[in-house]
Structure 1
Amino acid sequence: MSEQITVGVGAGARYLGVDRVIDLGPLHPSAHGAYRLRLTVTPDLVITAAEPLVGHLHRGAEKLFEVRDYRQVLTLANRHDWLSAFCNELAVALAVERMTGMDVPARAQWLRALLCELNRLMAHMVFLTPLSPNAATYREGVQALMEEASGGRIHFMFNRIGGLREDVPAGWTERVAAFLSTVDTETLTIDFGALEGLGVLPHEDALAYGVTGPIGRASGVDFDLRRDDPLPAYKALGFSPVVRTEGDAAARVRCLLDEVQKSVELARACLEQLPQGPVNLRLPKAIKAPEGSVYTRVEAPLGTSGVHLSSRGEKTPWRLKLRTPSFNNVQALSALLPGTKVDDLPAVLSSFAVVVGDIDK
Structure 2
Amino acid sequence: MSMQKIQYKYRRENLSESEPTKFNYENLASEEMLINLGPQHPSTHGVLRIEVVTDGELIKEVVPHLGYLHRCFEKHAESLPFNQIIPFVDRLDYVAAMNSEHAYVMGVEKMLGIENTLPKRIEYIRVLVAELNRIASHFIAIGTYALDIGAQTPFLWLIRDRESIQRLLEWVSGARMLYNYIWVGGLFYDLPLGFEEKCLEFVNYVKPKLEELKQIIIDNHIFINRTANVGVLPMDLAINYGCTGPVLRGSGLKYDLRRVDAYSVYPEIEFDIPIGEGKMGKTGDCWDRNYVRLMECWESIRIIEQCLDKLTKDHKRTRDFDPQAFVPKKIRPVEMDFYARAENPKGELGFFFRTNGKTDVPTRVKCRACSFHNLSVLPEISKGWMIADLVAIIGSLDFVMGEVDR
TM-score (norm 1): 0.93
> SS state of the match for residue 85, structure 2?
helix
User: Where does residue 303 of structure 2 map in the other structure?
Assistant: 266
**Structure 2: how far apart are the matches of 1:206 and 1:284?**
40
Q: Residues of 2 paired with 1:359 and 1:273: CA distance?
A: 36
Q: What do residues 282-310 of structure 1 show as CA deviations (whole Å, max 9, x unaligned)?
A: 44543222221221111111000111111
1:129-278 aligned within 5 A:
129-130=143-144, 131=146, 132-133=154-155, 134-183=157-206, 184-188=209-213, 189-190=216-217, 191-245=223-277, 246-274=283-311, 275-276=315-316, 277-278=321-322
Please give the secondary structure, in 1, of the residue aligned with 2:236: helix
Q: Distance in 1 between matches of 2:179 and 2:334?
A: 28
- Mapping for residues 330-341 of structure 1, pairs under 5 Å: 330-341=375-386
CA distance, structure 2, for counterparts of residue 196 and residue 321 of structure 1: 37
Corresponding letter in the other structure for 2:334: P
User: Which of 328, 334, 351 lines up with 1:290 in the alignment?
Assistant: 334
* SS of alignment partner, residue 146 of structure 1: helix
Structure 1 SS opposite 2:349:
strand
How far the C-alpha of 1:16 sits from its partner, in A, is: 4.4
Look up the match of 2:13: none
The equivalent residue for 1:57 is 69
Higher RCO, Cα 8 Å, sep 6+: 1
Q: After alignment, is 166-175 or 348-357 more displaced?
A: 348-357
- Aligned-CA RMSD value: 1.9
Q: Distance in 2 between matches of 1:282 and 1:262?
A: 30
Tell me which residue corresponds to 1:20. 33
Offset, 1:347: 2.6
Query: Matched residue of 1:168: which SS?
Result: coil
With over 3 angstroms needed to count, the CA separation of the structure-2 counterparts of 1:97 and 1:81, relative to structure 1, is: same
1:357 lines up with 2:387 in the alignment? no
Corresponding residue SS for 1:231? coil
Amino acid at match of 1:165: F
Give the superposition deviation at 1:229: 0.8
1:20-40 alpha-carbon deviations (Å, 9 max, x no partner): 222222223123421111222
**What do residues 103-128 of structure 1 show as CA deviations (whole Å, max 9, x unaligned)?**
22211111111111001001111122
Q: CA deviation at 1:239?
A: 3.0
Q: What is the rounded CA distance, in whole Å, between the counterparts of 1:65 and 1:74 in structure 2?
A: 9
Bigger Cα displacement from structure 2, 270-279 vs 204-213:
270-279
| Cα distance in 2, alignment partners of residues 95 and 237 from structure 1 | 21
The corresponding residue for 1:10 is none
Which structure: larger Rg? 2
| Structure 1 stretches lacking a partner, 5+ long | 8-13
Which amino acid is 1:150 matched to? S
Aligned to 2:365, the other structure's residue is in SS state: strand
CA 110–284 in structure 1, closer or farther in 2 if over 3 Å, else same: closer
Moved over 4 A (4+): none
CA spacing shift, 1:283–1:349, aligned 2, 3 Å: closer
Which letter maps to 1:36? R
Structure 2 residue aligned with 1:85, among 72, 81, 97? Answer: 97
Q: Which amino acid aligns with 1:346?
A: V
- Report the Cα offset of residue 182 of structure 1: 1.2
Task: Pick which of 62-71 and 184-193 moved more.
Answer: 184-193
Q: Is the 8 A contact 1:195 1:347 kept in 2?
A: yes
TM-score normalized by the length of structure 2: 0.83
2: CA distance between counterparts of 1:124 and 1:269? 20
Structure with greater helix share of residues: 2
Shift of the 33–226 alpha-carbon distance from structure 1 to 2, 3 Å rule, reads same
Q: Percent identity?
A: 33
Once the two structures are TM-superposed, the CA of residue 342 in structure 1 deviates from its matched residue by 1.4
Specify the alignment match of 1:11 in structure 2: none
Distance 2:109 2:162 in 1: 31
Q: Distance in 1 between matches of 2:328 and 2:397?
A: 44
Letter in 2 for 1:95: G
Q: What one-letter code is carried by the residue in structure 1 that aligns with 2:289?
A: R
**Structure 2 gap ranges (5+):** 9-24, 147-153, 218-222, 278-282
Closer, same or farther: CA 284–135 of 1 in aligned 2, 3 Å: closer
Whether the 8 Å contact between 1:197 and 1:248 is mirrored in structure 2 is: yes
Q: What SS does the corresponding residue of 1:287 show, helix, strand or coil?
A: coil
